Amino acid sequence: MTTLRAFTCDDLFKFNNINLDPLTETYGIPFYLQYLAHWPEYFIVAEAPGGELMGYIMGKAEGSVAREEWHGHVTALSVAPEFRRLGLAAKLMEMLEEISERKGGFFVDLFVRVSNQVAVNMYKQLGYSVYRTVIEYYSASNGEPDEDAYDMRKALSRDTERKSIIPIPHPVRPEDIE
């Protein structure tokens, strides 16, 4: 029971119930505007019948087509505590994957804190696998390195041989990822 629609600037004033979660980052305005300006179709919000925001997904398309690295990327995915366990995150991921399919992406990828087991398991259930580990990808608000990330991927239909998701055994540094 959800209204799925494009995220708009006005939603920034209403997303506290989602963003006051400790693992959900509230970015500066430019960050959101950049996504809204460049990839508006990739920014989707779910709204409850009472008008509360339930959750949202924010993503983009990037990478070189020639090198078969053109792909959808999940930048943020968050669901408010009271709307969890409804399969909403899965639904939003499915939408992002569909958009990426339409754009002819080879795969969809995302970064997740290695400690966020709940999320890692959910992504695994949705068909994602760990492609590589990125060392100290996350930093604390003081700029100090905080935590490693898993770079998780799921192949799309264009990548018939599923080449894009063959794991890289050695961890990489944030500066080495494109």
Write each residue from 105 to 124 as x if it is in contact with other proteins (CB under 8 A), else as -, in one continuous string: ----------xxxx------
Among 64, 65, 102, 124, which residue interacts with other proteins (rule: CB under 8 A)? 102
User: Is residue 10 close enough to count as binding other proteins by CB under 8 A?
Assistant: yes
The backbone region for 43, taken as left when phi is positive above 0, alpha when psi lies in -120 to 50, beta otherwise, is beta
User: Is residue 41 close enough to count as binding other proteins by CB under 8 A?
Assistant: yes
Looking at the Cβ atoms of 13 and 161, the one nearer to other proteins is 13
Write each residue from 50 to 69 as x if it is in contact with other proteins (CB under 8 A), else as -, in one continuous string: x-x-x---------------
* 124 CB-near residues (< 8 Å, 6+ apart): none
Name residue, tokens 């696998």. Answer: 129
CB of 125 closer than 8 Å to CB of 83: no
Alpha-carbon gap, residue 146 to 50, rounded angstroms? 38
- Provide the greatest CA pair distance for the chain: 48
Cβ atoms within 10 A of the Cβ of 101, count?
A: 14
Among 69, 103, 147, 162, which residue interacts with other proteins (rule: CB under 8 A)? 103
Name residue, tokens 């924010």. Answer: 58
| Residues forming a β-bridge with 133 | 150
- Binding residues for other proteins, total number by CB under 8 A: 55
Residues numbered 145-174 forming contacts with other proteins, rule: CB under 8 A: none
Interface residue list for other proteins (CB under 8 A): 1-6, 8-10, 12-14, 16-17, 19-23, 26-30, 33-34, 36-38, 40-41, 44, 47-50, 52, 54, 81-87, 95, 98-99, 102-103, 115-118, 141
